Structure 1
């Protein structure tokens, strides 16, 4: 017989949220690692001692974590989901009758006390410290990389770089424009490159017009991750323009900040060839004493069948190259009355063969068929490049190359699972806020997965 469900009328119900949320729910596991007391302390000076009580900042932080950890991109929808979802209510400590704040409260606090107190950076570092205490950060090796995230900007509402006027009235400009003008001298944005952008978005001028994905160009920011290669914990994150110079500069900022904040200094850094310039390798080797597990960015390899620079032997004790025919290439073939540095504007030294040697050399067609003599440029930091080349031949390099893929997996998780393919917020501060919250959510999810039963924290409670 077909059943028929009837609604039973009861005056009282014995209902506990805890009974209806699975014990292994990811938010239960996250809450076991979450400590917001220090966040409250950081925000306290930014609240008045008088007046009507505000929305609890603990509630707002928990709701933001729910949004970014569960891939809920809209704050309007987030408020609806927290209102309806029992697991979200339990995590946010709302109970059955707790009132969910209006979505506009997030915007007001974001542009006010959240940014003034830098509380989102504080929250992120609190979670990193938790990862450290749980033994998820080894500190021996780090990996760094950047990924492009589309900005909330439309090509149809942009102007060419030549038309853009950075000296516009800042008082009349929008918030995103004011933020752009404020970072014109910042190495992660305006000062990263002297080249003017091809297009500038009126709504978000700090976003970079880029075609790096080899498809349709778009406005984007770059999120830069510095991760520990043991478990892929994100130890630092930085927002920059979507250009290589800014991304390389961000890697240095993150390495220095991680050491200052947590006392972590890796013995090696793994990255792709975008970070393999001579200048960056010299900074790692000479200034920071970090082994670069990075492919050298090298344009000296020839593909036309003639000798490349690697075919010439470098003799550091005699400051010269030796060609395949056994002849020497030196900087100067005579003594000048006024000593010359021999350094070009590009920061290189030029080593030249003798004209009389090259003229009669039987290998000239394989060496310099279109030039009188062969010249070899050597960067001032070529010794650091040689260090990176030597490391690239070791088994340790092969292992770090495989472990570096963890940062790519984090970017895939960011875009596919957390659904951050496009930013909601505009301006450098908006990008920074979103990247910090997303990285915080990823670290919390990793804690929930790898340390589901922490020993030093009480169990989840409403």
Structure 2
């Protein structure tokens, strides 16, 4: 028969244990095994006063932020509401049923104040990375690098040409504008004004890199270990190729300095195959460049390309298919290029002239100062380990897809380069925690209740 819920007298006491109501295989229960914030208070101690009213526990704020980024809840107001209602969130944040949830304004005050001044979010990221290292998820041999464009919180219609951008420094300026102007003042040399500048977030880059209409954006740069796809470092830059490539050097050096890990090979796409970057990898860091060479010298019209000329390192010259030399004066051009020229007399009666230099009196070949490093990359491109590396590069692309689709970070909420750095660090921390939960915690019959990793 049909049952009915009886409404009786409300009991005076409840026997309720929050621990019993969080499923054993819940994502947060698995993540909690690997999140240790025991050193957070010591890290932040210099930034708090020894007197006065006690503040909200910073460990509580960090745990709430991790909940938000793990489940794609990026509105701090909504995050406070969800933690108030969700038992699993309360359990992870060490809140009992009777404990009050901090106000959403507390996050802004701490994020722009103590957390940013003490680099707390990077501290938490590196503590999680240390746990990944301790659990054996980092091989330390192959690293992969890539960047992904994330839209800035800036209206694409509210921009001005870079040469027209100006602010009254005597008036009250927003935080992103102040940070942008301070960065300009601190720059060692003046830079060319950008094509378009946002008045609300001037550090964001006007870009159409993903295709389609241009918009303001930042790039999140990931350096990952290819063994388990653990993120070793993350760096926020304007969405510009030069900034992304330069961020690679910063991250590789930082990982080597802080964790004493240097890869045997570095995997990247063609954007990282410039002569300068390859020279840095091969000559300075002794890292194998598993990167396609950025090369525009090869011809596609059937005429003789540079690969048809033999390089003689000892003689410092090229040899054409007919065995004639091409020599240089030894003085590089402004872009660190040496020009090797053949003799006009050798080319005049050559039977291959129509295929080699039909419109000039002699043949010229440009050789980068770092051409030897480019040759190393070209030789590696034909090896089996290079083919394996191209498959491993997909791991970083999968992390970007996870970042945008599961963590819902396809548009920033915080403005300025520092705001982008905060968001990217929190997202990378959440991804590493989820990675450990997926690789190290056994999944039982209740696995279906956990959010996909």
Q: What range describes the TM-score normalised by the shorter chain of this pair?
A: over 0.9
In the superposition, relative to structure 1, how do residues 17 and 371 fare at CA in structure 2: closer, same or farther (>3 Å)?
same
What does the per-residue CA deviation read over 1:27-66, in whole Å, with 9 as the maximum and x for residues that have no partner? 0111111111111111111111111111111110100000
Q: 1:452 matched to which residue of 2?
A: 441
Offset of residue 2 of structure 1 = 2.9
What 5-or-longer segments of structure 2 have no aligned partner? 443-453
Q: Contact 1:354/1:373 (CA < 8 Å) preserved in 2?
A: yes
Matched, 1:327 2:324: yes
Q: 2:83 matched to which residue of 1?
A: 82
Offset of residue 404 of structure 1 = 1.3
How far apart, in 2, do the equivalents of 1:252 and 1:5 lie?
A: 66
In the superposition, relative to structure 1, how do residues 6 and 321 fare at CA in structure 2: closer, same or farther (>3 Å)?
same
SS class of match (2:233): strand
Deviates more, 1:83-92 or 1:156-165: 156-165
One of 366, 379, 383 as aligned partner of 1:394:
383
Q: 1:367 matched to which residue of 2?
A: 356
Deviates more, 1:80-89 or 1:174-183: 174-183
How far apart, in 1, do the equivalents of 2:430 and 2:399 lie?
A: 11
In the superposition, relative to structure 1, how do residues 216 and 192 fare at CA in structure 2: closer, same or farther (>3 Å)?
farther
Matched, 1:240 2:240: no
SS class of match (1:398): helix
SS class of match (2:419): helix
Q: 1:6 matched to which residue of 2?
A: 6
Counting only pairs closer than 5 Å after superposition, residues 401-412 of structure 1 correspond to structure 2 as: 401-412=390-401
Q: Contact 1:192/1:245 (CA < 8 Å) preserved in 2?
A: no
In the superposition, relative to structure 1, how do residues 62 and 71 fare at CA in structure 2: closer, same or farther (>3 Å)?
same
Q: Contact 1:200/1:209 (CA < 8 Å) preserved in 2?
A: yes
CA-based RMSD: 1.6
How far apart, in 2, do the equivalents of 1:260 and 1:372 lie?
A: 53
How far apart, in 1, do the equivalents of 2:336 and 2:192 lie?
A: 20
Q: Contact 1:114/1:120 (CA < 8 Å) preserved in 2?
A: yes
TM-score, normalised relative to structure 2: 0.94
Q: 2:450 matched to which residue of 1?
A: none
How far apart, in 1, do the equivalents of 2:360 and 2:106 lie?
A: 69
What 5-or-longer segments of structure 1 have no aligned partner? 333-340, 454-462
How far apart, in 1, do the equivalents of 2:273 and 2:181 lie?
A: 31
Q: Contact 1:142/1:226 (CA < 8 Å) preserved in 2?
A: yes
Counting only pairs closer than 5 Å after superposition, residues 1-400 of structure 1 correspond to structure 2 as: 1-11=1-11, 12-165=13-166, 168-169=168-169, 172-184=172-184, 194-332=191-329, 341-400=330-389
What does the per-residue CA deviation read over 1:380-434, in whole Å, with 9 as the maximum and x for residues that have no partner? 1100000111111111111111111100000000000000000000001100000
How far apart, in 1, do the equivalents of 2:287 and 2:368 lie?
A: 20
SS class of match (1:37): coil
What does the per-residue CA deviation read over 1:157-192, in whole Å, with 9 as the maximum and x for residues that have no partner? 1111121137x4176321101111222378xxx789
How far apart, in 1, do the equivalents of 2:121 and 2:378 lie?
A: 39
Counting only pairs closer than 5 Å after superposition, residues 435-446 of structure 1 correspond to structure 2 as: 435-446=424-435
Q: 2:447 matched to which residue of 1?
A: none
In the superposition, relative to structure 1, how do residues 276 and 195 fare at CA in structure 2: closer, same or farther (>3 Å)?
farther
How far apart, in 2, do the equivalents of 1:350 and 1:53 lie?
A: 69
How far apart, in 2, do the equivalents of 1:144 and 1:192 lie?
A: 28
Offset of residue 78 of structure 1 = 0.2
Q: Contact 1:192/1:246 (CA < 8 Å) preserved in 2?
A: no
How far apart, in 2, do the equivalents of 1:90 and 1:325 lie?
A: 78
SS class of match (2:100): coil
In the superposition, relative to structure 1, how do residues 192 and 102 fare at CA in structure 2: closer, same or farther (>3 Å)?
farther
Q: Contact 1:358/1:364 (CA < 8 Å) preserved in 2?
A: yes
Counting only pairs closer than 5 Å after superposition, residues 405-444 of structure 1 correspond to structure 2 as: 405-444=394-433
How far apart, in 1, do the equivalents of 2:8 and 2:318 lie?
A: 93
What does the per-residue CA deviation read over 1:278-335, in whole Å, with 9 as the maximum and x for residues that have no partner? 1111111111111111111111111222111111111111111111232221125xxx
Q: Contact 1:128/1:443 (CA < 8 Å) preserved in 2?
A: yes
How far apart, in 2, do the equivalents of 1:294 and 1:266 lie?
A: 14
Offset of residue 4 of structure 1 = 2.6
Q: 1:335 matched to which residue of 2?
A: none
Q: Contact 1:65/1:441 (CA < 8 Å) preserved in 2?
A: yes
Q: Contact 1:147/1:222 (CA < 8 Å) preserved in 2?
A: yes
TM-score, normalised relative to structure 1: 0.93
Q: Contact 1:170/1:178 (CA < 8 Å) preserved in 2?
A: no
Deviates more, 1:13-22 or 1:393-402: 13-22
How far apart, in 2, do the equivalents of 1:391 and 1:321 lie?
A: 22
